[in-house]
Structure 1
Amino acid sequence: MVASVLEASHVFCCPNRVRGALSWNSGPGGLLAFGTSCSVVLYDPRERVVVTNLNGHTARVNCVQWICKQDGSPSTELVSGGSDNQVIHWEIENNQLLKAIPLYGHEGPVYAVHAVYQRRVSDATLRTLMVSAASDSTVRVWSKEGSAVTCLQTLSFGDGFTLALCLSFLPNTDGIKMEFAVTLETVLAGHESWVNAVHWQPSFYKDGVLQQPMRLLSASMDKSMILWAPDEESGVWLEQVRVGEVGGNTLGFYDCQFNEDGSLIIAHAFHGALHLWKQNAANPREWTPEIVISGHFDGVQDLIWDPEGEFIITVGTDQTTRLFAPWNRKDQSQVTWHEIARPQIHGYDLKCLAMIDRFQFVSGADEKVLRVFSAPRNFVENFCAITGQSLNHVLCNQDGDLPEGATVPALGLSNKAVFQGDIAPQPSEEEELLTRAGFETHQMAFQPTILSEPPTEDQLLQNTLWPEVQKLYGHGYELFSVACNNSKTLLASACKAAKKEHAAIILWNTSSWKQVQNLIFHSLTVTQMAFSPNDKFLLAVSRDRTWSLWRRQDTISPELDPIFSLFAFTNKVTAVHSRIIWSCDWSPDSKFFFTGSRDKKVVVWGECDSSDDAIEHSVGPCSSVLDVGGSVTAVSVCPVLNLSQRYIVAIGLECGRICLYSWKKTNQFPEVNDWAPCVETSQSQSHTLAIKKLCWKNCNGKTEQKEAEGPEWLHFASCGEDHTVKIYKVNRSAL
């Protein structure tokens, strides 16, 4: 029932920045498991979709390991360890969580886990042996039989710190042996920095005999991954293939993995990105980059849909702005979403975002400057090619003199536009060698690239920046919130503040980029702002536990900027919320607005009369107080009503759960039975940390299919501190 009403259709994330956070299941069609913030994500590299999220840890997941079966079939169990001092054993059935068993005992973060199946000689029963290492300088050995798990032994290493561990069976041994003969086979020298991971290609059965391919994969901080194998004639171990990152602000690889047959290899980079390569069947020495999941590697602070619902833009404390869009393939009806551009790579943590036009946005970071970006021609061309839209239709609404792309100068901080005449020709191989021989600095310049599929990580880093077209100065402290009106003529921004003069809202004209007005009312940081759909009102909520409503005054001349005056507000006497108000949003008819607070309450206010003779201070609470049972961090109202003509409200909580309610004014005093619960996310659908933003899509239709399935499907996106962005689909007829 729940699955048919609300589903998480697309998930964007990447592995945590630690060694061991990645594991590839052996067997045909094996899933990739990795830790993202407090979750373990199961990802299908062939279908390019997230299968499910395993939520159970309360702090960062540091290590993940599938428990490989000896017959080479896909595993159904995995183990993870986290900074919450927990080890969790997960059991999977049909790609969904069947059972989770937490193992307690460590007194510090768990950084390494491993597990194997062991069959008892006496009674042939199967048990699972697990080992875990933590920063408390201990290694614990666990045994699982059925649903019972016991700690067999705790090994203490004093002041030592175990970085890695592995369980292995010696061949042809059923008992205990204490004698070993070890010889040095070879020294593999090829990396130029720390080697963080080595992995053997998984073994497999051939004609009933277990085969172990002699291929070894290594990942290093020198930005490369090397595939090693012995020479068929001499037996000397040689480098077969070297792949890796080129250019960009990258710092090498944490981990690497083979798939079940060794035809795919994957690397986990320092900044969380995954790099996937596929072996050419005709030429085994040739490996080509493949499309793989990507996302933020730190908290995602804000997101917004484009006005036509074709893509979303997000910003995060990983100092990047990312753009996600659907990939429409002619030969497939299924549509998957991917990161197709990284318009901004900044030096400050990004906090807020607003769309000014379809291909223009403004972002605010932990600095005093707002920055405006516009899409270059190369992005528009690639966007149309990937999403299947008409290039002429999209370009007809754009400025004819679009730059080709953007680049960051060697000593610059801003994305500089690159026009057709600025593009330098690609150097030949001989020129490249001469440049390197002369020790000249090679700067990665923009080169236009026509894509028919989502870009790889290297292309995202180097070729998808948007030019910065304007800087807006005026705030005295770090930016915190920004909003644009629906006619795209006014921009409102606010910064962190501890005094009334610093908490002022600044209005900007989006044509001249000049300040229009300062709106002074709040005494602490304005946490969120929202223009009403009819652009008559501007709503602001604040850390000072109050909200303010500003009404636009029509000017005599249309050439003059509109002026806003304070229309209504709450104070210590009239306030309903007793804690910080984090979020606000408007009903689609501009009559009501909704506020959500840390005090677990959601309140509806109104009615807002936009006529000239409207009475000031006439806006008050017009709903019963909804207690959702947790701190409210995000509120968003659907632009369409449900079939009963009730407003649909999505509420995001600090715990990561999302609740959908419907509301309708009953005209009773006091209001009763005006709120109705609809559905809430399950544990696997929820975020694991605080939700920072919810945003409904303006357009209807399924985001998985090329053909929209009608107005019964609604979509909204969410982002949170758990590094994750999700797109949900909602069955309107079931609300």
Structure 2
Amino acid sequence: MSVPQVRRAVAALRGHAGRVNCVRWVRRRDGGELLEFKLCEIFSCVQLVKSIPLKGHTEAVFAVDAVCQSDEPDFNVLIASAASDSTVRIWSRHGSEAKCIEILQFGNGFVMDVCLSFLPGSDVPILACGGDDCKISLFIQQNGQFQKVLILPGHEDWIRGVEWAVCGEDLFLASCAQDCLIRIWKVCTKLKQLPETEDDSIKLKENIFTVKVSLESVLAGHENWVYAVHWQPSFSKDGSIQQPMRILSASMDKTVIIWEPDKESGVWLEQVRVGEVGGNTLGFFDCQFSPDGSMIIAHAFHGALHLWKQATINKKEWTPEVVISGHFNSVEDVKWDPEGEFVISVGFDQTTRLFAPWKRKEETEVTWHEIARPQVHGYDLRCLAMIGRFEFVSGADEKVLRVFRAPKNFIENFSNVTGIFYLYNKSSYFPFFLVCSLANEVLILIGDMAVQPDEDEESFNTISNQYPEIYFQPLILTEPPPEDHLLQNTLWPEIQKLYGHGYEIFCVACNNSNTLLASACKASKKEHAAIILWSTSSWKKLQSLSFHNLTVTQLAFSPDDSFLLAVSRDRNWSLWRRENSSESGPVFTCCAYTDKNTAVHSRIIWSCDWTPDSKYFITGSRDKKVIIWGQCDLSVITEGNGLDSIKPCSTVLDAGDSVTAVGISRVLTPDGRYIVAVGLESGKIILYTWKQSGKEPTLADWTTGVEIDNSQSHALAVKRLCWRHHAGRAGHNDENSSKWLQLASCGADHCVKIFNVNRFAL
């Protein structure tokens, strides 16, 4: 089985309602794997991909394993699951039916990991359970029931992982624990019954063979808890070894080790050690070999995947590889850059991440990767707004807004990875082309101007000027960086802090001319729910807009920058119009709003957005309603007639679930209809088209375009929807770019998703 060069997410398997704690492939009896796997989650349920929920545990399920008992098309699967209810349940699945056949009780103890296999040369299942009592319990199925036949002591702390491997007539068990050690046990079977005086043997009279367990080796090399141990999948159907026996282990000491027995002495030795040095991570939770053993992948404490590949010539050399990555907690906000070439997201994992498309020279497919982690915070991040090219402001569960600007090293690396080149300047970034002349000069062409680059110009705002060299290495990249580089070398300098709010920042927005910021914080009183306007040139506070009584949940400037829209937990929206600028800056006045007498929404309004012509705005609420408001010309609104002139222009759209995010594309359908994306608390995303039909709303004004399939939508609540500002797909050179739109979404399921939308099909 070859490993594909293009690594991307191919599907999302939905079905669980809580955090998934464990993933396992169903193994065949010959050691291979089936293209089906099962998950265990915090809601006390084990579920197969084919939607067969196995319910019975009363507490969180955190370990599961399974083996196939036959190779028939309608195969039997034996499943073992461990939960914090101090039980291990044995399940039997035949075809589309599954049931619990046995419950193993462990008193007040907990089983941390389970693994199933078969005794060599037989169809007798054997189960290993590693627990918090520092012991491994072995169970063998006899007469349809699992019986505890042996306890393996030796570890001095909780056992975190156990895994079987079959080698000829021998069965090996690897175990790891919080005592920093790995133990290898050997199970030998004989086809004759030994005398009953041997107390350390397992006797199965009905099968006429005996099993004996001995300690093969103790591997000491890790300096912290060992969380996972796995054998390389290298055994064929006849039991012969295709590759040398190898073990992979992952530890909280930030390393992953490959162990292999010495060819001459047979002593297990450390062969390869990879991992992290320094940084702010806390080690690895799990690891796996690729099928051919040429690659290893590890799952870090901070949610990242690390991938290493074995060198072709020097087998001892393993180099980091590009891998998909993302947030490891709820993603609260996502924004496109003004040119639509990348997205930036923030989340409760206290990081800001930048994702961009990457197209390898030898591949035709474009994949998205994290290429920078501009901000690592000490608070949960909630919102962000782009301020022009490579500059953003973020808000977190603190009272401060923070402004960041990309360093020169990032601009260079972004150009290398994406193929889009920029001229670095103190105040802005311009796309440019390099032209070589016969005079041996290099000219930078910007529009109609040609200038010579100044080699002596002092670099501006580089990270190396702000961080010691030991922490930052300005590396030149030609592909998306690995996790260790993301953690240490891709931070952006913070150029400003904005003080003024009394509580945690909740939302922020920037106008389209990048001159104004609007922000709001959590509030339970009117005085704290005020919206603050900031100047992006002086970073001074310009105005405080007071109207709402509770937290303002989202802010949105109209595309023409004439209006500011705010929606709130108090179930109302407010519309602010920009008046003539004063000496201290622009002045906004409230020109329209809803109150308890005029409100249509009956629950929290979570989201809002504008149509590209600034004529209408949309609101989405927990009451499942989506409404488009406005009139033909908002410029005629005055403070006196605003309440009467701003009315629903659409019928009330019932989305069927709480609406948590809405977004309107700036590109219309070919027949001139607005394209509206609606995100729900269930994780679904539905695309509608809307066009005002006459003076009064009619049932025909909304048209359902497409409901994104469950396998592609979010598993939990959609937090934000953001359309790319213009047609086309980032990273593609489409001949017919007007055909495609791109929609970015983020959700509580830790995911950022980019959807390609064919606007001609809506």
TM-score range, shorter chain: 0.7 to 0.9
270-279 or 45-54: bigger deviation? 45-54
Correspondence for 1:340: 371
Partner of 1:593: 617
Q: Aligned to 2:496, which of 454, 464, 470?
A: 470
Could you tell me which residue of structure 1 aligns to residue 608 of structure 2? 584
The structural deviation recorded for 1:404 is: 6.0
CA distance in 2, matches of 1:348, 1:161: 33
Give CA-to-partner distance per residue, 1:626-663, whole Å, 9 cap, x none.
11111000010010111221111000001100011111
Q: Name the SS for the 2:10 alignment partner.
A: strand
Between 536-545 and 665-674, the greater mean CA deviation after superposition: 665-674
Per-residue CA deviations over 1:408-433 (Å, capped at 9, x if unaligned) read xxxxxxxxx626xx874xxxxxxxxx
Of 34, 46, 49, 1:87 maps to: 46
Shift of 1:265: 0.8
**1:391 CA drift (Å):** 3.5
**Residue correspondence of structure 1 range 350-389 to structure 2 within 5 A:** 350-389=381-420
- Asked if the contact 2:30–2:237 (Cα under 8 Å) also holds between the matched residues in 1, the reply is no
1:61 is matched with which residue? 20
Distance across 2 between alignment mates of 1:610 and 1:514: 29
Q: What TM-score comes out, normalization by structure 1 length? A: 0.85
Partner of 1:723: 750
What residue in structure 2 maps to residue 561 of structure 1?
585
C-alpha distance after superposition, 1:596-643 (max 9, x if no partner): 000000111111635367543321111111111110000100101112
Structure 2 counterpart of 1:607, one-letter code: Q
Structure ranking higher in strand proportion: 2
Equivalent residue number for residue 147 of structure 2: none
Determine which of 53, 59, 62 is the counterpart of 1:108: 59
Distance 1:572 1:148, change over 3 A: same
Quote the residue 2:465 is aligned against: 418
CA displacement at 1:668 relative to structure 2: 4.3
Partner letter of residue 109 of structure 1? A
Aligned to 2:6: 47
The one-letter amino acid paired with 1:60 is: R
Q: Distance in 2 between matches of 1:551 and 1:180?
A: 82
Q: Deviations over 1:8-61 (max 9, x none)?
A: xxxxxxxxxxxxxxxxxxxx147xxxxxxxxxxxxxx63211111110011111
Counterpart for residue 223 of structure 2: 192
Change (3 A) 1:698 1:190: same
Q: For residue 694 of structure 2, give the secondary structure of its aligned residue in structure 1.
A: coil
Q: Mark the CA change 1:125 to 1:314 in structure 2 (over 3 Å): closer, same or farther.
A: closer
Amino acid of the structure 2 residue aligned with 1:217: L
Structure 1 pair 128–423 and aligned structure 2 pair: CA distance change class (3 A): closer
RMSD: 2.2
Where does residue 233 of structure 1 map in the other structure? 264
Q: Distance in 2 between matches of 1:704 and 1:398?
A: 19
| Counterpart mapping for 1:34-433 below 5 A | 46-71=5-30, 75-90=34-49, 99-119=50-70, 126-174=75-123, 177-178=203-204, 179-205=210-236, 209=240, 211=242, 213-392=244-423, 397-398=428-429, 402-403=459-460, 405-406=462-463, 418=465, 424=469
Output the TM-score relative to the length of structure 2.
Answer: 0.82
> Contact 1:362/1:371 (CA < 8 Å) preserved in 2?
yes
Check whether the contact 2:740–2:756 (CA below 8 A) recurs between aligned residues: yes
Asked whether 1:678 is paired with 2:627, we answer no
Q: Residues of 2 paired with 1:508 and 1:633: CA distance?
A: 27
Structure with the bigger RCO (C-alpha within 8 Å, sep 6+) is 1
Q: 1:276 to 1:209 in 2, by over 3 A?
A: same
Aligned length: 651
* Equivalent position of 1:447 in the other structure: 473
Residues 75 and 198 (structure 1), Cα distance of their counterparts in 2 relative to 1, 3 Å cut: same
Following the alignment from structure 2 to structure 1, what is the Cα–Cα distance between the partners of residues 5 and 24?
20
Q: What is the one-letter code of the residue matched to 1:716?
A: L
What SS does the aligned partner of 1:611 have?
helix
Native 8 Å contact 1:139 1:156 kept in 2? yes
Q: Is residue 702–residue 709 contact of structure 1 (8 Å, CA) maintained in 2? A: no
Query: CA shift at 1:397, angstroms?
Result: 3.8
- 1:203-253 per-residue CA deviation (whole Å, 9 max, x = no partner) reads 233999454631111111111111111111222111101111122111111
In structure 2, the CA distance between the partners of 1:597 and 1:205, relative to structure 1 (3 Å rule), is same
Equivalent position of 1:645 in the other structure: 672
Name the CA distance, whole Å, in 2 between partners of 1:491 and 1:375.
19
Letter in 1 for 2:635: S
Give 1:155 deviation, angstroms.
1.0
Corresponding residue SS for 1:655: coil
Deviation at 1:493, TM superposition (A): 0.5
Letter in 2 for 1:418: N
CA deviation after TM superposition for structure 1 residue 499, in Å: 0.7
Distance verdict in 2 for CA 1:660–1:402, change over 3 Å: farther
What does residue 178 of structure 2 align with? Answer: none
In 2, Cα distance between equivalents of 1:490 and 1:244: 44
Question: Take 1:458 and 1:590, find their aligned partners in 2: how far apart are those partners?
Answer: 44
1:607 matches 2:631: yes
1:323 and 1:341 in contact (8 A); partners too: yes
Of 711, 719, 722 in structure 2, the residue corresponding to residue 692 of structure 1 is 719
CA drift of 1:584 comes to 0.4
Q: Secondary structure at the match of 2:746?
A: strand
State which of 591, 595, 600 in structure 2 corresponds to 1:571.
Answer: 595
Q: Bigger CA drift: 309-318 or 77-86? A: 77-86
1:352 & 1:324 partners in 2: Cα distance?
Answer: 16
Q: Give 1:9-24 correspondences, 5 Å limit.
A: none
Percent identity over the alignment is: 62
Contact kept, 8 Å, 1:700 with 1:708, in 2: the verdict is no
Q: CA deviation at 1:89?
A: 1.6
Distance 1:145 1:539, change over 3 A: same
Aligned residues of 2:343 and 2:356 also touching (Cα < 8 A): yes
Residue 669 and residue 233 in structure 1: after superposition, are their counterparts in 2 closer, same or farther (change >3 A)? same
The answer to whether 1:666 aligns with 2:693 is yes
CA distance in 2, matches of 1:461, 1:132: 35
Which runs of no fewer than 5 residues in structure 1 stay unpaired? 1-27, 31-44, 91-98, 407-416, 425-443
Query: Based on CA coordinates, which of the two structures has the bigger radius of gyration?
Result: 2
How many Å separate the matches in 2 of 1:286 and 1:116? 34
Q: Over residues 548-600 of structure 1, what are the superposed CA-to-partner deviations in whole Å (9 max), with x where a residue is unaligned?
A: 000001237xx651111111011000110010100000000000000000000
Q: Which residue of 1 aligns with 2:738?
A: 711
Q: Give the aligned residue type for 1:52.
A: A
SS of the residue corresponding to residue 273 of structure 2 reads strand
Tell me the CA shift for residue 320 of structure 1.
0.2
1:202–1:213 CA contact under 8 A, matched in 2: no
Equivalent position SS for 1:318: coil
Q: Is the 8 A contact 2:28 2:69 kept in 1?
A: no
Q: CA deviation at 1:327?
A: 1.1
Partner of 2:573: 547
Determine if contact 2:2/2:292 at 8 Å carries over to the other structure: no
Amino acid across the alignment from 1:107: T
